[in-house]
Chain A
């Protein structure tokens, strides 16, 4: 990294922290600390929602996903606009009318205390674990590729976030989010423009897209219905809808963002803005990955982008075999580059048969180099069976560090840090709020005069927990993947509780509670013993809670009624 990169990175991070501190002044009560003064305009709500959802790994992993697997990942977000509309109609007016500080408060009004506590504790478990990974995963990538100290990286992100989040609460988080989104957008747009610019002179953007498409990297829509296929139109629309409904409707890290809106209108517009922007935004990030893929059609990439496991192979008995593979791979990629050149030049002509033949040649050359890459992965896994065979998270940053000019590298790294900070701040702020409102205030009675300081203490404690878990995550190995899909293991159940609360008015508290417990056990059994893709757990968990609640209600209708009337929208 050049001095200019350090200046850009340092100045960006300093600006985010100072901006968050400056705009977050004035929280005098627990309510204003958690609710952000409830005066946010729609654009601030929208940016804060997007920033919380967008972690650093989104920017590191998504372009790599397009490089390895094409653009079908975009389908994951198709459920989001549907969920935004449903929540705008139902949940947002209800939360505002009840002046709720957390999503779980209304469950006690509808059911009972134990159901509220169950949902709040499920949230604290899954979000508490996930927030550690939010800062661990990008810190690991940066430490491997840049040689930075992993622990120092985690500490830096954690401390920067806590400075403004603990001090200013939700308002500071939202304003810091707005500055982070500017940095992130600027970094990704400039990286995309520069990538298109760095293609060979005779390769136009249209040529590049034809090369990417010819090699299966622009397959954005897959209409086949296969429950074991992670990303297709139906898993995105159905499974994604349930996931997004749960994430935006019942996850306090998101609910807190739109509850800071000054009115129902401002909260709704903020959420709908996210629904409108997210799919095109993910498409552009994936397109950037597809362009990086094309860039590497004309330049030789490493066989495996994560240098850590490669070093392990090189230190073992298979070093010679790996070196041979590297040489074969370089040769294969040279031939592939020649085929790509030939395909582009042939496309400039009008002979359809020649174009089809050149495309088939390129596809064959690509298949050969991919086969060599597969052999390299096998050697890597042989050297260390616990190694993650995917190098997706390392592709984009490797490209950035080796191919982008000074200054832009610093900006992209600032975007990565901003992503880490934006997610962590939204999450620890929500964890602190849930701890205070649903546990401390509800069970201990609370004290309005001390609440702002209790909130700060809880947010600080969750920040420390996140950093400690991030430090521990290095020892989790392959369990990290399980933690990553943890959200889907719990979201469906939490969503089911809320759906029963909103729409199935005859179900009473005890039945909803037990239905949620049984449904959660079934989801965990599905995770342990079936190959069902994780997106479907959201739908399964949710539907089971509703069905079990109805069943238990039918079997035990004599349970005491809830004392508080059912909330209506």
Chain B
């Protein structure tokens, strides 16, 4: 991770790496939910 030192933290999650992890986690959650959704109604 390359992080500019002067950059203030994001208003959510405290640090940028945590916010990025949250976005990627949301993607993973979407994929899992979509998989379950497809299976549930197939």
Name 18 extra pairs, CB < 8 A, besides A82-B27, A97-B4: A74-B34, A81-B27, A85-B20, A85-B23, A88-B16, A93-B4, A210-B41, A212-B41, A213-B41, A218-B37, A218-B41, A218-B42, A220-B34, A264-B7, A269-B10, A272-B19, A279-B27, A283-B30
Q: Can you pick out 23 interface pairs between chain A and chain B where the beta carbons lie within 8 Å of each other? A: A81-B23, A84-B23, A85-B24, A89-B16, A90-B2, A97-B4, A209-B41, A213-B41, A213-B42, A214-B41, A214-B42, A218-B41, A221-B31, A221-B38, A233-B31, A264-B7, A265-B8, A268-B16, A272-B20, A275-B23, A280-B30, A283-B30, A283-B34
Residues from chain B with Cβ under 8 Å of A88 in the complex: 16, 20
Residues of A with Cβ closer than 8 Å to B?
Answer: 71, 74, 78, 81-82, 84-85, 88-90, 93, 97, 209-210, 212-214, 216, 218-221, 233, 264-265, 268-269, 272, 275-276, 279-280, 283, 569
Task: Give the complex CA separation of A20 and B30 in angstroms.
Answer: 34
Residues of A contacting B: mostly: helix
Task: Give the complex CA separation of A210 and B38 in angstroms.
Answer: 10
Please count the residue pairs between chain A and chain B whose beta carbons lie under 8 angstroms apart in the complex: 75
Task: Give the complex CA separation of A483 and B35 in angstroms.
Answer: 33
Task: Give the complex CA separation of A265 and B7 in angstroms.
Answer: 8
Residues from chain A with Cβ under 8 Å of B27 in the complex: 78, 81-82, 275, 279
Q: Interface size for chain B: under 10, 10 to 19, 20 to 34, or 35 or more residues?
A: 20 to 34
B35 vs chain A, min Cβ distance (A): 5
Task: Give the complex CA separation of A297 and B40 in angstroms.
Answer: 20
Residues from chain B with Cβ under 8 Å of A97 in the complex: 4
Residues from chain A with Cβ under 8 Å of B10 in the complex: 265, 268-269
- C-beta contact mask, B1-32 vs A, less than 8 Å → 1, else 0? 11110011011000010011001101100110
Q: Are the C-beta atoms of A279 and B4 separated by less than 8 Å?
A: no
Question: Which residue of the partner chain A has the closest CB to B8?
Answer: A265
B9 vs chain A, min Cβ distance (A): 9
Q: Are the C-beta atoms of A569 and B38 separated by less than 8 Å?
A: no
Q: Are the C-beta atoms of B38 and A218 separated by less than 8 Å?
A: yes
A213 vs chain B, min Cβ distance (A): 3
Question: Which residue of the partner chain B has the closest CB to A79?
Answer: B27
Q: A213-B42, A219-B42 are in contact. Are A89 and B26 (CB under 8 A)?
A: no
The 6 A-B residue pairs with the shortest CB-CB distance, nearest first, are A213-B41, A220-B34, A81-B27, A85-B20, A221-B35, A209-B41
Residues from chain A with Cβ under 8 Å of B38 in the complex: 71, 213, 218-221
A81 vs chain B, min Cβ distance (A): 4
Residues from chain A with Cβ under 8 Å of B16 in the complex: 88-89, 268
Q: Are the C-beta atoms of B1 and A89 separated by less than 8 Å?
A: yes
Residues from chain A with Cβ under 8 Å of B31 in the complex: 78, 221, 233
Question: Which residue of the partner chain B has the closest CB to A287?
Answer: B37
Residues from chain B with Cβ under 8 Å of A84 in the complex: 23
Q: Are the C-beta atoms of B35 and A220 separated by less than 8 Å?
A: yes
Q: Are the C-beta atoms of A272 and B23 separated by less than 8 Å?
A: yes
Task: Give the complex CA separation of A221 and B4 in angstroms.
Answer: 37
B13 vs chain A, min Cβ distance (A): 11
Question: Which residue of the partner chain B has the closest CB to A90?
Answer: B2
Residues from chain A with Cβ under 8 Å of B19 in the complex: 272
Residues from chain B with Cβ under 8 Å of A212 in the complex: 41
Residue from B3, B8, B10 having most chain A Cβ neighbours under 10 A: B10
Question: Which residue of the partner chain A has the closest CB to B7?
Answer: A264
B36 vs chain A, min Cβ distance (A): 9
Q: Are the C-beta atoms of B34 and A81 separated by less than 8 Å?
A: no
Q: Are the C-beta atoms of B26 and A276 separated by less than 8 Å?
A: yes
Residues from chain B with Cβ under 8 Å of A269 in the complex: 10-11
Task: Give the complex CA separation of A220 and B34 in angstroms.
Answer: 6
Question: Which residue of the partner chain A has the closest CB to B1?
Answer: A89
Residues from chain B with Cβ under 8 Å of A219 in the complex: 38, 42
A67 vs chain B, min Cβ distance (A): 16
Question: Which residue of the partner chain A has the closest CB to B26?
Answer: A276
Q: A264-B7, A269-B10 are in contact. Are A276 and B2 (CB under 8 A)?
A: no
Task: Give the complex CA separation of A569 and B42 in angstroms.
Answer: 47
Residues from chain A with Cβ under 8 Å of B34 in the complex: 71, 74, 220-221, 283
Task: Give the complex CA separation of A97 and B6 in angstroms.
Answer: 12
Residues from chain B with Cβ under 8 Å of A216 in the complex: 42
Residues from chain B with Cβ under 8 Å of A78 in the complex: 27, 31
A206 vs chain B, min Cβ distance (A): 9
Task: Give the complex CA separation of A261 and B3 in angstroms.
Answer: 18
B1 vs chain A, min Cβ distance (A): 6
Residue from B3, B11, B23 having most chain A Cβ neighbours under 10 A: B23
Question: Which residue of the partner chain A has the closest CB to B28?
Answer: A81
A220 vs chain B, min Cβ distance (A): 4
Task: Give the complex CA separation of A264 and B3 in angstroms.
Answer: 11
Residue from A209, A272, A569 having most chain B Cβ neighbours under 10 A: A272
Task: Give the complex CA separation of A271 and B36 in angstroms.
Answer: 28
Question: Which residue of the partner chain B has the closest CB to A219?
Answer: B38
Q: A93-B4, A264-B7, A265-B8 are in contact. Are A276 and B23 (CB under 8 A)?
A: yes
Task: Give the complex CA separation of A219 and B38 in angstroms.
Answer: 5
Task: Give the complex CA separation of A272 and B25 in angstroms.
Answer: 13
